[in-house]
Amino acid sequence: NVRSKTPLGLKAKEYMDKGALVPDSIVVGMVSDRIREEDAEKGFILDGFPRNINQADVLEATLEGLGKGIDRVIGMEVERKELVRRLSGRRVCRQCAENYHVIFSPPMNIGTCDKCGSEIYQRDDYKEETIEARLAVYEKETLPLVDYYSKKSLYSPVDGIGTVDQITGHIVGAIEGRSNT
């Protein structure tokens, strides 16, 4: 929406440019518009949405109005210490925006982009203190969704530790209704 400069995207960009959270009404509007598109008629996956109970309620009402519902909610479970390690290790090139990780995918030469030779750096949102603040917001606003969707028998926890193939297998198993924790 932001890239396409839709009316909702332009509103969202105003908040993003200030470093503020985009209000639920705008985020929900974007998602609502998107799930109404033709390519979503047979189903879709939402990643990172909803982020709070209000968004979940509006999503449910929107889906109900479309004659649809939620099949499964997958929760990737990873210990806080590991999340901080993963997120704080992220690096990005100042020039071409190539992504790196100090442990999982480091550049060939520390501090230099393999792709364009420019400097790589740690964005502010990848710094430990910012990550801890984001996790506190998650615990307050998003974590209650586990109980919300568990009560509806839609929540499936998935172990977020392992190789990409292992975790993918856990997710597929959860979608198919098998336990993967």
pLDDT per residue as tens digits for the range 70-96? 999 999 999 999 999 999 999 999 999
Q: What's the confidence (pLDDT) of residue 177?
A: 81
Task: For residue 156, name the pLDDT band (cuts at 50, 70, 90).
Answer: very high
CA 119 to each of CA 97, 115, 157, 164: distance values in angstroms, whole numbers, following the listed order: 10, 11, 39, 28
**Cα 14 from Cα 116, distance rounded (Å):** 31
What mean pLDDT is predicted for residues 112-130? 94
Rounded-to-integer distance, Cα 180 and Cα 169, Å: 8
pTM higher than the cut 0.85:
no
- Which residues, in sequence order, are bridge partners of residue 156? 74
Residue 149 pLDDT greater than 90, yes or no:
yes
| Nearest alpha-carbon partner for 31 in 64, 8, 65, 54 | 8
> Mind giving me the DSSP string for 55-83?
HHHHHHHHHHHTT-----EEEEE--HHHH
